Amino acid sequence: MSQTWTTHPSQALLRVAERGAKRSRSTGRRRLVLISGLVMLGIAIAAILAAPLLAGKSPTALDVLHPLAPPLTPGHLLGTDQYGRDILARILYGGRIDLAIAFGATSVTLVSGTIVGLVAGYFGGWVDNLLMRIVDLFFAFPFLVLIIAIIAMLGPSIFNMFVAIWITSWVSYARIMRAQTVVAKKQQYVLAARTLGYGRVRVMLRHILPNTASAVIIFSMVDAVGNIILAASLGFLGLGAQPPTPEWGTMISDGQNYILSSWWLATLPGLAIVFVGVAFSLIGDGLADVLRPGER
Amino acid sequence: MSVAAEPLLTVEDLHTYLATGQGVVRAVDGVSFTLGQAEVLGIVGESGCGKTVTCRTIMGLTPRRIAYSSGQVIYHPWGDGNILDLSQRELQKLRGTHLAMIFQDPMTALNPVRSIGDQLIEAVTAHARLPRAQARDRAIDLLTTVGIPAADRRMRDYPFQFSGGMLQRALIAIALASSPRLLLADEPTTSLDVIIQDQILSLLLELQRDTGMSMILVSHDLAVITEVCDRVIVMYGGQVVEEGDTATIITAPSHPYTKALLEALPQGGHRGPLRSIPGAPPSLIDTPAGCRFVPRCPLAMHECTGWTTELVETGGPGHRARCWRHHEVGRTTAWQASDSA
Amino acid sequence: MSRFGTLPRRLGHLVLIAFGITLVTFFLLRLIPGDPALAILGTSYTHQRAVAIDLALGLNKPIWTQYVLFMGRLFRGDLGYSFFYSEPATTVIGQHLAPTVFLVIYAAVLAAAISLPLGFVSGLRRGGVVDQSARVFFTVSFAMPAFWLGIILLIVFSVHLQVFPISGFGAGFAGHLYYLFLPALTIAVGFSTVLIRSLRAATIATLQAEFVDTARMKGISRAKVLRRHVFRNAVLAVVAVFGVNLAYLISGTVLVENVFSLPGLGSLLVNSVSNRDYPVVQGVTLLFALLIVAINLLTDVTQSALDPRVGQEIGE
């Protein structure tokens, strides 16, 4: 063939294909998802911690001269509610409860559910059977209804909201972790560790857990979104934070009475929820790409 | 039979590159061959050498998102155009009636939630407007032809109710539903029991003789290929390394890889340990220049690396090999030596 | 082998679960700290009423005897007496059943209507416009509380555009359809988040299946390949997801009924919690749980009816 190397059609093809391969790799974009999620969450946390500085007023201070002031009113960037309380201040302070739930409730259920799943999957037999039947039982209830029923019995309060989530929410982690453990148990590295005579606890914690934790960690981000929405929902139903404590859900609930005239009362706190929720979702998606590449 | 006078399919400098997350896989890297009317051509090579991708490229069934092809595939009854350039709609006319393919794993090659009869009737009516009853009769005929007993009763069955061998027969029936002139059979017997393998092979050969269609049989098993094919192409690392008629390939292999494949065959009567080819097939990502078999080749010399090797005529009719030392291949006993070590 | 091979076993499993549900709901009532009669009566406490409750619930008996009594009453359809409504709890619950059932079915249908096309097209054209928009849609709607979305829809469509009513259940079937459109849409948006994601994944997986190549090899049109082999199989794979996530739908109704002031079980549950009307809370919880069990059973049956393989894997 008279063609030289540089003009051979396969070289052009190679260049096109390489561009395609780069696109399918796109590690850069995956990282970007994770980073933008982290940045958004960082902004939210910083704003909530710096609430006294940013808002400049108390979330419960009444400005009786300016009730139901619309956003961009001087002195009230996001307006005021029916008592003239500053919406910005209430959103910033209120976020403390919702984020506390996101971290406090999620971390506890992550740890407890992971342990249950690990034990069930590793030991198998009747232990596994018993634990998984309990898990099935929890899944038989609509999650929110079960939480409401528990809160009904304990009485509505922020602490009881935590308790209700702790009681119910570990089951998802247990189920995911068990599935992972059952698979990992049969892998070479675990068999090797067991052959070497390592104790059960050591095999579970040092060999199985590090190789399976990514699934529950990724799920915990989804769960955190769920818990924020749950906290807001219970607040909305009057079963979580109690007035006058500012909390996003209770603010929306209060604002619903004024939707005919003052739309900002109910809508703005919801945007805060969406912002934080999207942050956690993006972190979850980003982690999924980084921790287990090649699964999508 | 040597190279048939009248060509049916000409493949010229075919490249198919797959853009994967790990990099560009040069799955098919400059493959050329010609297939005659009513000829049975075998393509042999280890898994991952580009046999399947070659067939899929001819059928236009490579994954569109990641596969990039160049070169010429000319299907002569369709004119001199390159069928790689055909639109999906034009290709659709070609599929079934002219080109058909059987896939490797019959267990996954049929839709699990639709009945066998349904899927067969779909193939029968793809190119022919037939009344339902007539299509059904034709489908039953086809199932009977491929050797499925009580065909009319098995039409209602679902794939999971069929054994692997039966499924492969059903797939052959589907492939032949519109009387194609070229059948690509991609490892049609690999996932089947040995006895079933022979039955399926004889069925394919019988159908080929009856219909006069051409066939490309792809296999990693040289024994299967030599049993059935008129001519053989040996592929390695996305390239053709040797081609010739079956008798020549068996008696006078001119590429060390072909020789190795022959050595790896269990010898009749000779109950020695099975020989395998030392080393692993090359990664097709970032393939270095030069002969791709070098790392596993007992005849490799300094000149084999560095620049590309071409297919060269060995002297036999239509016999070519991609090796500088092709005339020495027949004499070497390197594998026997390395085996006893 | 029967077409419903594993169903009897699944049925046994469900009976076990239903039994567990009664256990949980029974002991939930016993979680109340202190004197249950006092907690139940709250401000309407009188000594006579307390004694009546003690007797009615058998609170003076050992706990397991109480459970047996509870089960006995349950089988007779007796969930206790609502002191708030001065009626048997079953009657109260029965009065609130219709809006919830209507809403759940309506939302499920809407969710399917939204997610089937969106999920399928985004799986088919990965990275395309629909896929990108669907991705934004489910990332945002996943983080969106259902009750807030409901309020936004109210503000836009009822307050400003005034095309839908603010609250109420409406009269007649058409009236229900009209009045419940916004509530059903609210729930459907949240629900379709999950459905779009899984249908997208199922479509992508199905497209890579070898039987799709077999279908294309026959020379039938792309539309036929997609309709008969890709769509059908992908939807089948999502039926299970649909069933499992109906629990989400029920949680959604609890919130959305409160937003739109619908006289359904969700409003009843929340009001009963505030009113300390424990027999009703217990009854609604039990009913919702049994509803989920029933839906799971229905999902199994649907799946085995649609998918010839289900229930056949035992022999392997």
Q: Given a cut of 90, is residue C226 above it in pLDDT? A: yes
Tell me what pLDDT residue B337 has.
40
Tell me what pLDDT residue A71 has.
81
Distance CA A44, CA B42 (A): 65
Q: Let me know how many helices (H) and strands (E) chain C has, helices first.
A: 16, 2
Q: Is the CB of B19 less than 8 angstroms away from the CB of A23?
A: yes
Tell me what pLDDT residue C33 has.
60
Among candidate residues B232, B136, B229, B221, the one with its CA nearest the CA of residue B187 = B221
Q: Given a cut of 50, is residue A1 above it in pLDDT? A: no
Residue-wise pLDDT tens digits, C194-224: 899 899 999 999 998 999 999 999 999 989 9
Distance CA A122, CA A204 (A): 8
Distance CA B54, CA B71 (A): 12
Pairing of strands B231-236, B214-219: unpaired
User: CA of A262: which chain C residue's CA is closest?
Assistant: C155
Residue type (1 letter), B84: L
Q: Which band of pLDDT confidence, cut at 50, 70 and 90, is reported for residue A2?
A: very low
Q: Is the CB of A273 less than 8 angstroms away from the CB of C145?
A: yes
- Where is average pLDDT lowest: A14-23, B111-120, C144-153? A14-23
Q: How far apart are the first and last CA of chain C?
A: 13
Region of B322 (left: φ > 0; alpha: ψ -120 to 50; beta: rest) is beta
Q: Is the CB of B69 less than 8 angstroms away from the CB of A24?
A: no
- Residue C69, CB-side half-sphere exposure with 13 Å CA sphere: 14
Q: Given a cut of 60, is residue C18 above it in pLDDT? A: yes
Q: What percent of chain C is predicted at pLDDT more than 90?
A: 23
Contact A249, A66 (CB under 8 A): no
Residue-wise pLDDT tens digits, C61-72: 777 888 888 888
Q: What percent of chain B is predicted at pLDDT more than 70?
A: 93
Q: Is the CB of C151 less than 8 angstroms away from the CB of A259?
A: yes
Q: Is the CB of C17 less than 8 angstroms away from the CB of A266?
A: no
Residue-wise pLDDT tens digits, A263-294: 888 888 999 999 999 999 999 988 888 887 65
Tell me what pLDDT residue C26 has.
83
CA distance C125 to chain A (A): 15
Q: What is the CA radius of gyration of chain C?
A: 24
Residue-wise pLDDT tens digits, B295-315: 888 888 787 887 777 888 887
- Which among B88, B158, B174 has CB closest to C214? B174
Site of tokens 């340990």? B273
Q: Given a cut of 60, is residue C79 above it in pLDDT? A: yes
Tell me what pLDDT residue C225 has.
92
Q: Which band of pLDDT confidence, cut at 50, 70 and 90, is reported for residue B172?
A: very high
Phi, psi of B226 (to 5 degrees): -65, -25
A38-72 b/e (C-beta count within 10 Å ≥ 16 → b): eebbeebbebbeebeeebeeebeeebeebebbeee
CA distance B325 to chain A (A): 21
Q: What percent of chain A is predicted at pLDDT more than 70?
A: 93
Tell me what pLDDT residue C34 has.
60
> Which distant-in-sequence residues (6+ apart) come within 8 Å of A262 by Cβ?
A68, A70, A79, A82, A255
Tell me what pLDDT residue A249 has.
87
Contact A277, A106 (CB under 8 A): no
- Residue C35, CB-side half-sphere exposure with 13 Å CA sphere: 12
Q: How far apart are the first and last CA of chain A?
A: 42
H helices present in B65-125, as ranges: 88-94, 116-124
Residue-wise pLDDT tens digits, B130-157: 899 999 999 999 999 998 998 889 999 9
Tell me what pLDDT residue C57 has.
65
Distance CA B44, CA B216 (A): 11
ipTM: 0.86
Structure tokens at C222: 């792309």
CA distance C274 to chain A (A): 8
CA distance A13 to chain B (A): 7
Q: Which band of pLDDT confidence, cut at 50, 70 and 90, is reported for residue A7?
A: low
- Where is average pLDDT lowest: A176-180, B91-95, C304-308? C304-308
Q: Let me know how many helices (H) and strands (E) chain B has, helices first.
A: 12, 11
Phi, psi of C25 (to 5 degrees): -65, -35
The whole-chain average pLDDT of chain C stands at: 83
The whole-number average pLDDT for the span B175-198 is 89
Among candidate residues A40, A48, A240, A248, the one with its CA nearest the CA of residue C140 = A40
> Which distant-in-sequence residues (6+ apart) come within 8 Å of C63 by Cβ?
C30
Q: Is the CB of A17 less than 8 angstroms away from the CB of B19?
A: yes
Tell me what pLDDT residue C58 has.
67
Site of tokens 């009566």? C41
- Which among A12, A24, A294 has CB closest to B19? A24
DSSP single-letter state for residue B158: -
Distance CA A245, CA A250 (A): 9
Q: Which band of pLDDT confidence, cut at 50, 70 and 90, is reported for residue C116?
A: very high
Q: Is the CB of A280 less than 8 angstroms away from the CB of C155?
A: no
Q: Which band of pLDDT confidence, cut at 50, 70 and 90, is reported for residue C237?
A: confident
Tell me what pLDDT residue A293 has.
60
Q: Which band of pLDDT confidence, cut at 50, 70 and 90, is reported for residue C315?
A: very low
E strand spans, chain B: 7-20, 23-36, 40-44, 67-75, 99-102, 182-186, 214-219, 231-236, 239-245, 312-313, 320-321
* Beta carbon pairs, B and C, within 8 Å: 86
Q: Which of A173-182, A238-247, B266-275 has the highest mean pLDDT?
A: A173-182
Q: Which band of pLDDT confidence, cut at 50, 70 and 90, is reported for residue B3?
A: very low
Q: Is the CB of B15 less than 8 angstroms away from the CB of A293?
A: no
Pairing of strands B214-219, B40-44: parallel
Q: Is the CB of A13 less than 8 angstroms away from the CB of B18?
A: no
Among candidate residues C72, C80, C79, C73, the one with its CA nearest the CA of residue C54 = C80
Tell me what pLDDT residue A28 has.
64
Site of tokens 């192409």? B233
- Which among C211, C216, C309 has CB closest to B108? C211
Residue type (1 letter), B54: T
Among candidate residues B43, B65, B288, the one with its CA nearest the CA of residue B185 = B43
Tell me what pLDDT residue A26 has.
61
Tell me what pLDDT residue C42 has.
66
Is the Cβ of A294 closer than 8 Å to some Cβ of chain B?
yes
Residue-wise pLDDT tens digits, B246-291: 988 888 888 888 888 888 877 654 555 556 777 777 888 877 778 8
Q: Which band of pLDDT confidence, cut at 50, 70 and 90, is reported for residue B5?
A: low
10 Å CB burial of residue B150 (0-12, 13-18, 19+) is: exposed
User: CA of B101: which chain C residue's CA is closest?
Assistant: C217
Q: Given a cut of 90, is residue C78 above it in pLDDT? A: no
Residue type (1 letter), B48: G
Pairing of strands B7-20, B23-36: antiparallel
Q: Which band of pLDDT confidence, cut at 50, 70 and 90, is reported for residue C1?
A: very low
User: CA of B21: which chain A residue's CA is closest?
Assistant: A25
> Which distant-in-sequence residues (6+ apart) come within 8 Å of A78 by Cβ?
A71, A86, A87, A88, A91, A264, A268
Give ∠ CA C190-C196-C201 in degrees, rounded to 5: 140
CA distance readout (Å), B117 to A39, A256, B27, B149, C49:
57, 59, 35, 14, 71
Phi, psi of A194 (to 5 degrees): -70, -35
Tell me what pLDDT residue A61 has.
77
The whole-number average pLDDT for the span B176-186 is 93
Helix H, strand E, coil C: the string for B275-311 is: CCCCCCCCCCCCCCCECCCHHHCCCCCHHHECCCCCC
Helix H, strand E, coil C: the string for C100-144 is: HHHHHHHHHHHHHHHHHHHHHHHHHCCCCHHHHHHHHHHHHHHCC
The whole-number average pLDDT for the span B101-116 is 90
More reliable by pLDDT, A218 or B329: A218
User: CA of B90: which chain C residue's CA is closest?
Assistant: C219
- Residue C209, CB-side half-sphere exposure with 13 Å CA sphere: 25
- Which among C210, C220, C228 has CB closest to B103? C210
E strand spans, chain C: 81-82, 87-88
Contact B64, B248 (CB under 8 A): no
CA distance readout (Å), A247 to A93, A264, B300, C274:
8, 15, 76, 19
Tell me what pLDDT residue A295 has.
46
CA dihedral angle for residue C154, residue C100, residue A240, residue A111, rounded to 10 degrees:
-120
Residues of A in contact with C27 (CB under 8 A): none
Residues of C in contact with A266 (CB under 8 A): 148, 151, 155
User: CA of B124: which chain C residue's CA is closest?
Assistant: C218
- Which among C24, C142, C289 has CB closest to A225? C142
The whole-number average pLDDT for the span B99-122 is 91
Q: Which band of pLDDT confidence, cut at 50, 70 and 90, is reported for residue B2?
A: very low
Q: How far apart are the first and last CA of chain B?
A: 41
Q: Which band of pLDDT confidence, cut at 50, 70 and 90, is reported for residue C316?
A: very low
Contact C158, C182 (CB under 8 A): yes
